[in-house]
Structure 1
Amino acid sequence: MEPRKIIPAVSVAVVRGDSVLLVKRARPPSQGFYAYPGGKVEPGETLAEAAARELKEETGLEASDYRPLRDIHIDGSGENHAVDYLLTVFGAVYAGGEPVASDDAETAAFYPLAEMAAMPLAGDVFSVAEDLLGNHGNARP
């Protein structure tokens, strides 16, 4: 069996005060789940450039101080994709404006940890938010 192709992708967790930006995914992977804005890296882009572009495309927002937080392997076979993704999650600081969902985001808004605990979240979204915002005594059920 041939090894599955791995495509580089990015997402960006934008922090505003005690909340983090999430989009509701309108398409696979993770359709219907809340996640950080992101997508595939285009040819010639650095990972940070791709994160900034995806943030702008999906929410209209800009951020600053991009820093890589973790790499996550996404197995696409569970969603009937022929490829896997190596997702680099970035943290960034909110730079102004209000999010407007577009591209493949159904909704876009800032959420505190307490509210996120009851939401359908993709993968490691909650643990990344905890790392960025601190636990504040809010445990995910």
Structure 2
Amino acid sequence: MSGAGIRKIRCVGAVVRDAAGRLLVVRRGREPGAGLWSVPGGKVEPGESDPVALARELREETGLVVAVGDHVGSVERPAPDGVFEIHDYRCVVTGGDLSPGDDADAASWVDLATFTTLNDRNALVEGLFAALREWGELPR
């Protein structure tokens, strides 16, 4: 998917779990992926580091304040004008109240059974389940 002349758009995603091991997911309110569930995240703006961008995206999309931790993996996905290069990080909630905002029209904590059901119903963004499984980051 990558190669010479293809515009790469750096993005970040958050793998956030609660005390029960459930995963934080948001339902996208806009394209790309409108109506599909994903981990929160988005584009890295010029001058931002990945942790700064991820903390900003989490506040905007979920109302939560997070501490950004270890990088867990990266994927590339097609974008209308290039390729989204997405870098996912573990995050821990340090404050705020869960409330969807910005381009997320819903936010929820999901366990493995619910996450699997979303995957089986094609309600997750493409490749999310497989990537999290490969990285050992599925919810409990």
Structure 1 length as normaliser, TM-score?
0.82
**Residue 48 of structure 1 aligns with which residue?**
51
Structure 2 counterpart of 1:60? 63
Of 10-19 and 125-134, more deviation after overlay is shown by 125-134
Matched with 2:76 is: 73
SS class of match (1:54): helix
Q: SS in structure 2 opposite 1:132?
A: coil
CA contact 2:51–2:68 (8 Å) conserved in 1 = no
Unpaired runs of at least 5, structure 2: none
Give unmatched runs, 5+ long, in structure 1: 137-141
* Number of the residue aligned with 1:38: 41
The answer to whether residue 122 in structure 2 is matched with residue 117 in structure 1 is no
Are 2:116 and 1:83 aligned? no
User: What secondary structure does 2:15 align onto?
Assistant: strand
Match of 1:139 in 2: none
In the TM superposition, what is the alpha-carbon distance from 1:31 to its structure 2 partner? 1.4
Moved more, 90-99 or 43-52: 90-99
Cα gap change, 1:65 to 1:86, in 2 (>3 Å): closer
Q: Distance in 2 between matches of 1:11 and 1:57?
A: 13
Q: Give the percent of matched residue pairs that are identical in Structure 1 and Structure 2.
A: 31
Contact kept, 8 Å, 1:113 with 1:129, in 2: the verdict is no
* Contact 2:28–2:36 (CA under 8 A) maintained in structure 1: yes
Q: TM-score, normalised by structure 2?
A: 0.83
Number of equivalences: 130
